[in-house]
Amino acid sequence: MRTPIALFISIFILTACSGGKADYGKTITEHLLSKVPAGKKIGLISLLYAFDTMGVIDNGNISLRKIQEFAEVHFDVKLGNIARAFNELRMRQNPTQFIDELKAALEKRIREADDRNTLGHYVGQSTFSKK
């Protein structure tokens, strides 16, 4: 049985790795069985490292390897040697590019919600749906 935090993290990662364009009409199971696009694997890996570094899953009492296994199972993706990918990230001019893009996208969504004077997105209802 999945814990609520694991389910939240799964949905968060899915949305993040789909560029914030997740199809909210799909069931959670359909989302969790979706594959992460190949170009977004490095983004997913950077998120896994960020979650591990901040200790957001199980108060930091879970290994990075277990976090990786969780992501691989739930997204039907093989991430391979994430330590090598992390080292490649470290050598980039902007190693946090994906996370920076996530932040910018979230800030934009918040501004748009403020502009519409709404509370934002509820599960099963798009913020752009007509009433």
Please give the tally of structural domains in the chain: 1
Q: What is the pLDDT of residue 115?
A: 84
Domain range holding 56? Answer: 4-116
- Does residue 129 belong to any structural domain of this protein? no
CB within 8 A of 60, min separation 6: which ones? 52, 54
Which residue did the predictor score with more confidence, 95 or 31?
95
Question: How sure is the predictor about 117, in pLDDT bands with cuts at 50, 70 and 90?
Answer: confident
Check pLDDT > 80 for residue 108.
yes
Average pLDDT, the chain: 75
**37 domain-assigned:** yes
The secondary structure of residue 115, as a DSSP letter, is H
Mean pLDDT on 5-9 = 57
Does 123 reside within a domain? no
**Is residue 39 in some structural domain?**
yes
Name, in order, each residue with C-beta under 8 angstroms of 105's C-beta and a sequence gap of 6 or more: 19, 20
The pLDDT of residue 82 is above 70: yes
Torsions phi, psi for 46 (to 5 deg): -65, -35
Q: What percent of the chain has pLDDT over 70?
A: 60
> Residue 127 domain-assigned?
no
Check pLDDT > 60 for residue 42. yes
- The helix, strand and coil proportions of the chain, stated in percent and rounded to the nearest 5, come to 60, 0, 35
In this predicted structure, the answer to whether residue 79 has a pLDDT above a threshold of 80 is yes
* Residue 112 within a domain: yes
